[in-house]
Amino acid sequence: MNIESLARGLTYRGEAEGKRQSYYIFEGHGFYLNMSFKKDDPNAGNFHVVDSEAVEYVLGKFDGTSGVTARDVFDRAHTTRHVSSNLAALNILYVLVGLGRAKVDKRHKEKSLYFNVK
């Protein structure tokens, strides 16, 4: 994917708050761009490209499920081409939050983040 096609025509879809970063979700043609910025240093950040098919796949597998972790997503979907790592799974979950299809479950105080998928 080249940078010009990546940046062209992006539509802002929403945001999600993690423990240490804020995530801003943009939609392109066939993908989402997940931009994250550190809460304590807003000049430092990353971006991840997330395939829209992967988002739909995870939504189909976990729709209506509470307490979902990135590990759960990876374990269930790593044999498909949709989820290649725990980080990819986490980015898919943040995209779902940004789209309003999931929420971070703040009742859990463990290191792992838990999500409730709508």
Give the tens place of pLDDT for each residue, 9-64. Answer: 899 999 999 888 899 999 999 999 999 988 888 788 899 999 999 999 999 999 99
pLDDT score of 18 = 86
Question: Quick one: which of 114, 112, 110, 111 has its CA closest to 102?
Answer: 114
Buried b (16+ CB within 10 A) or exposed e, 56-71: ebbbebbeeeeebbbe
3-117 belongs to CATH 1.10.10: yes
Cα gap 110→78, rounded to integer Å: 23
In this predicted structure, the answer to whether residue 3 has a pLDDT above a threshold of 90 is no
pLDDT score of 34 = 96
| Mean per-residue pLDDT, 103-118 | 89
pLDDT score of 19 = 82
Question: Quick one: which of 105, 109, 107 has its CA closest to 96?
Answer: 105
